[in-house]
């Protein structure tokens, strides 16, 4: 398992709801936390590791001794306020930009034990949750940037795109048809 980078097609795939949690999925979640900590991130969506399921993890401390949170099939509602802050992404390493998001949101989801989560979040926790939920819908943070702010990162996005083409050309990234088949296999197993 590895963190995939823009413009990998799975990052634009709308993830499917999870209907089954088993020992394999729990092991994958543990691996996701390990990857996230190694990359010094605070959130990681399943499709960032090429898994097309509606699940993401968060730990605002970016360290194993912090609060590890798992959100399965999350739904966000009741957005309140507005806040602009800088965001980055493990799938766009080194790229940062200003994004406006609601200051407070309500989330309904499930954890790995099948318990329902109903919480109101604010601040960094709300921002991280919205960022990760966007991933599950195939949306990346530059998509949320203003036209002016996005113009400031176009060259960096083009560098990611050129690197992707190069890695695909040397066989480092499978073809779209292979990726589609892999996503379908995961969806059959968990969705």
Residue 62 CA to residue 137 CA, distance in Å, equals: 24
Label the pairing between strands 104-110 and 96-101. Answer: unpaired
Q: Of the listed 84, 132, 159, 161, which one is catalytic?
A: 132
Helix locations, 22-153, DSSP H: 23-38, 123-136, 141-144, 147-151
**Among candidate residues 158, 163, 124, the one with its CA nearest the CA of residue 43:** 124
> How does strand 83-88 pair with strand 104-110?
unpaired
Catalytic residue status for 187? no
Q: How many CB atoms lie within 10 A of CB 103?
A: 16
3-state secondary structure of 54: coil
Which amino acids are annotated catalytic? Answer: 132
């Amino acid at each position: 398992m590895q963190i995939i980078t823009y413009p990998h097609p799975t990052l634009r795939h709308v993830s499917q709801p999870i209907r089954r949690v088993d020992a394999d999925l729990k092991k994958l979640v543990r691996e996701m936390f390990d990857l996230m900590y190694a990359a010094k991130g605070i959130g990681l969506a399943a499709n960032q590791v090429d898994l097309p399921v509606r699940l993401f993890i968060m730990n605002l401390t970016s360290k194993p001794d912090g609060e590890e949170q798992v959100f399965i099939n999350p739904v966000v509602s009741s957005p309140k306020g507005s806040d602009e802050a800088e965001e980055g992404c493990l799938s766009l390493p080194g790229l940062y930009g200003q994004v406006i998001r609601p200051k407070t949101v309500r989330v309904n989801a499930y954890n790995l034990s099948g318990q329902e989560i109903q919480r109101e979040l604010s601040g960094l926790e709300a921002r991280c949750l919205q960022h990760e939920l966007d991933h599950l819908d195939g949306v990346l943070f530059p998509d949320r940037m203003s036209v002016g702010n996005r113009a400031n990162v176009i060259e960096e996005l083009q560098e990611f795109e050129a690197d992707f083409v190069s890695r695909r050309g040397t066989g480092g990234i499978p073809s779209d048809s292979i990726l589609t088949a892999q996503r379908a296999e995961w969806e059959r197993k968990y969705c």
